[in-house]
Amino acid sequence: MTLPIVKTLDLPCAAARAFDIFVNATTSWWPGGHSVSAGAGAVPQAITIEPRVGGAVYETMHDGARADWGRVLDYQEGVRLAMTWHPGNNADNPTRVEVAFADLPGGRSRVTLTHTGWEAWGDTADDRRQGYDAGWDIVLGENFVPACAVAA
């Protein structure tokens, strides 16, 4: 069994604000190199998370086409988001990403991302997990945390 990826980061803004940035301002901070459009050497027009259970998670690609990334499984405003995850591939057998937000003293917060379900990738699970492990560091640490710092 391939172990889950767990990323925990402390943020300089409250959990409700961090959640809002993650869900409703995704396009402003998501790195273009971590998209389906990047495969064509381009940057996506938008990244959308529809804020409700059953909502779509998708990219509006550089050419206006839609690339589905997943579906919202759990949506607790300001607290937690869980979604299937298959950006650009494996839509019939996705992995799962959960992002939890908790307030800390002093107007700060902690976000914990857990990415599971690697068995969906069979023999390539370990390689896929390794790529995502490094990728989430870029997406969260180099992009999401600074977006929260600006909003603080």
The CA dihedral of 37, 135, 102, 68, to the nearest 10 degrees, is 30
- Of 104, 118, 102, give the one whose Cα is nearest residue 4: 118
Per-residue pLDDT of 4-62, as tens digits, reads: 999 999 999 999 999 999 999 999 999 999 999 999 999 999 999 999 999 999 999 99
Can you list the domains of the chain with their CATH numbers? Answer: 5-28+72-151 (3.30.530.20)
- Of 122, 116, 74, give the one whose Cα is nearest residue 96: 116
Say what the pLDDT of residue 25 is: 97
Say what the pLDDT of residue 151 is: 72
Say what the pLDDT of residue 101 is: 98
Per-residue pLDDT of 46-59, as tens digits, reads: 999 999 999 999 99
What is the mean predicted confidence (pLDDT) over 87-112?
95
pTM: 0.96
Neighbours of 65 (CB within 10 A): 11
Q: What phi and psi, each to the nearest 5 degrees, are found at residue 133?
A: -60, -50
Q: Given a cut of 90, is residue 1 above it in pLDDT?
A: no
Say what the pLDDT of residue 89 is: 86
